[in-house]
């Protein structure tokens, strides 16, 4: 009996993956590796320019094909490729290319990979800005952290970004969600059918070798891509409020801040006399994380789950964060460090973890336990493949039952299609 043909997959990326620069790219790479383990044939395309630290997809056996926005050359490309599955990395790629995929490859399963709910992150950012305008207090942001899902819905519901993002979710056959909290927000408040969503968190192999000892580590660490606005805001809160509180208790303390695409406004914060070191990009994030004693992630807004905190657990590095940082990450499991709501509590927890070896070791053990309970690739990788195969087998009934998605494709996609075609025609006109 002949073996079934390997699935042919097209991934349309918002950017070319840079797993050493962002957790979002790391998650995309984990999905690609899961597909490769199945022997699937993968093509990765993106309209973006090359980044500074791209993954070598070709070395993994993945074809790389640049594509253009608002250009019918994509139609010929996707028709010839004839993929069985098309995965859109972020909803803007579904907006741009979804109607073309539907037109030329109607039987391809359309999957959306969200990384996080951008509309939720944006709404929380707006709420923080309003709070900062209303009060000069930089110590207590308790009212911002983990409000009820209904409050989040009311914050998001009138925004164009939420309508666009939810429309893309409905137009796809399956959406991969990295956070269980965001799944519940979509299901309970936006009334998205649960069967359109699949929980796919970061997927890792739990380490078996011992990590660097407490005695062999030094200093605090904060890490994150500076192009991601929650990371930049976290650095500002560290600089203005949290780090001075830590230095009051530990006058010799040192903080090393790493991040890809470090802007001049970040390097301007570097102050060796204050122990505040802006270190730019880390070629090996796990190496610098393993050398640190405590990871600091004072996130005042954001969405999804935090790759830096998974990396901290992988390296056996306890962390201090906020309810936003820990959201969707630990379920009912204990947190490997501290979750705090004020700058003073953040600083006190950071100092305790830095100084108290017993407390530090207990937090480290919780991190390894949490990884094993919630982030094992051996669990989530096969579950993802099973879900995709089920959707491929039942594609007709999925689309029939998703009438809202069908309606949105009929109306919204037509306007997107015509706008794209108008832009293409305009670009062809002589200047």
Closest CA to 10 of 79, 83, 77, 67: 83
pLDDT band at residue 144 under the 50/70/90 scheme: confident
The pLDDT assigned to 2 comes to 46
> What does the DSSP 8-state code read for residue 49?
P
Q: What is the DSSP string of 382-412?
A: HHHHHHHHHHHHTHHHHHHH-HHHHHHHHHH
Alpha carbons within 13 angstroms on the beta-carbon side of residue 205 total 5
How far is 190 from 81, CA to CA, in rounded Å? 35
Task: Give φ, ψ of 172 to 5 degrees.
Answer: -90, 160
Q: H or E segment at 297? A: strand 294-297
Residues 329-362 have pLDDT tens digits of 999 999 999 999 999 999 999 999 999 999 999 9
pLDDT tens digits, residue range 169-184?
A: 999 999 999 999 999 9
Q: What does the pLDDT read at residue 64?
A: 97
The mean pLDDT of 73-92, rounded to a whole number, is: 97
Crossing angle of the two packed helices 91-104 and 403-428, in degrees rounded to 10: 90
Q: For residue 22, what are the contacts with CB-CB under 8 A and spacing of at least 6?
A: 225, 227, 228, 260, 307
Judged against a pLDDT cut of 80, whether residue 423 lies above it is answered with no
Domain 8-119+148-203+378-428 has CATH 3.90.480.10: no
* pLDDT of 4: 62
> 39-68 burial, b if ≥16 CB within 10 A, otherwise e?
ebbbbbbbbeeebebbbebeeeebeeeebe
Q: Where are the domains of the chain?
A: 8-119+148-203+378-428, 214-375
Q: What is the pLDDT of residue 212?
A: 96
Ranking 134-143, 211-220, 234-243, 285-294 by mean pLDDT, the lowest is: 134-143
Nearest Cα neighbor of 109 from 304, 418, 384 is 384
pLDDT at 272 over 90: yes
Which residue from 299, 293, 259 is spatially nearest to 278, judged by alpha carbons?
A: 259
Q: How far apart are CA 121 and CA 156, in angstroms?
A: 9
What are the φ/ψ torsions at residue 319 (nearest 5 degrees)? -135, 160
On whether the CB atoms of residues 45 and 39 are closer than 8 A, the answer is: no
Q: Rounded to the nearest 5 degrees, what angle is found at the Cα of 225, between the Cα atoms of 211 and 352?
A: 45
Residue 327, token pair as written in the block: 């959201």
Distance CA 280, CA 24 (A): 19
pLDDT of amino acid 418: 66
Mean pLDDT calculated for residue range 239-257:
98
Residues 6+ apart with CB under 8 A from 3: none
pLDDT at 410: 78
Architecture of the structural domain at 214-375: 3-Layer(aba) Sandwich (3.40)
Residues 6 or more apart whose Cβ sits within 8 Å of residue 57: 16, 17, 32, 44, 63, 64
- Token pair for 73: 């050359």
How does pLDDT run across 203-215, given as a tens digit for each residue?
999 998 899 999 9
Rounded distance between C-alpha atoms, residue 251 and residue 375, angstroms: 37
pLDDT band at 147 (very low <50, low <70, confident <90, very high): confident
**Minimum mean pLDDT among 18-22, 59-63, 108-112, 120-124: which range?**
18-22
DSSP label at 178? S
Q: What percent of the chain has pLDDT over 90?
A: 82
Q: Are 87 and 14 in contact (CB under 8 A)?
A: no
Same fold? 8-119+148-203+378-428, 214-375 = yes
What spatial distance separates the first Cα and last Cα of the chain, rounded to whole Å? 60
pLDDT at residue number 1? 43
């Amino acid at each position: 009996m002949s073996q079934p043909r390997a699935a042919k997959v097209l991934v349309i990326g918002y950017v070319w993956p840079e797993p050493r620069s962002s957790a979002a790219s790391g998650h995309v790479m984990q999905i690609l590796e899961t597909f490769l383990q199945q022997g699937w044939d993968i093509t990765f395309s993106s309209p973006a320019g090359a980044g500074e630290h791209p993954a070598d997809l070709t070395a993994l056996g993945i074809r790389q094909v640049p594509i253009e926005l608002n250009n019918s050359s994509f139609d010929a490309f996707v028709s010839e490729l004839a993929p069985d599955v098309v995965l859109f990395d972020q909803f803007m790629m579904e907006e741009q290319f979804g109607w073309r995929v539907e037109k030329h490859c109607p039987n391809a399963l359309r999957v959306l990979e969200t990384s996080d709910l951008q509309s939720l992150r944006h709404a929380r950012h707006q709420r923080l800005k309003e709070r900062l305008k209303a009060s000069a207090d930089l110590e207590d942001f308790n009212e911002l952290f983990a409000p009820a899902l209904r409050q989040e819905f009311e914050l998001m519901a009138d925004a164009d970004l939420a309508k666009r993002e939810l429309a893309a979710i409905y137009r796809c056959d399956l959406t991969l969600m990295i956070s269980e909290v965001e799944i519940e927000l979509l299901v309970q408040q936006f009334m998205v059918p649960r069967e359109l969503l699949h929980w796919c968190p970061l997927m890792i192999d739990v380490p078996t070798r011992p990590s660097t000892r407490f005695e062999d580590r030094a200093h605090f660490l904060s890490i994150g891509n500076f192009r991601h606005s929650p990371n930049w805001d976290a650095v500002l809160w560290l600089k203005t409020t949290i780090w001075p509180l830590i230095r009051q208790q530990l006058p010799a303390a040192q903080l090393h801040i790493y991040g890809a695409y470090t802007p001049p406004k970040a390097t301007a914060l570097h102050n060796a006399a204050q122990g505040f070191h802006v270190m730019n990009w880390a070629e090996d994030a796990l190496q610098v994380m393993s050398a640190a004693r405590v990871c600091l992630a004072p996130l005042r807004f954001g969405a999804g789950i935090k790759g830096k905190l998974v990396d901290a657990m992988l390296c056996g590095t306890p962390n201090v964060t906020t309810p936003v940082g820990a959201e969707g990450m630990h379920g009912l499991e204990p947190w490997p460090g501290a979750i705090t709501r004020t700058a003073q509590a953040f600083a006190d927890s950071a100092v305790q973890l830095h100084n108290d070896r017993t407390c530090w070791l207990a937090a480290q053990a919780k991190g390894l336990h949490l990884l094993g309970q919630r982030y094992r690739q051996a669990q989530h990788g096969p579950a993802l493949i099973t879900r995709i195969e089920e959707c491929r087998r039942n594609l007709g009934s999925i689309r029939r039952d998703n009438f809202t998605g069908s309606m949105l494709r009929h109306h919204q996609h037509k306007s997107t299609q015509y706008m794209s075609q108008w832009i293409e025609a305009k670009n062809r006109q002589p200047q």
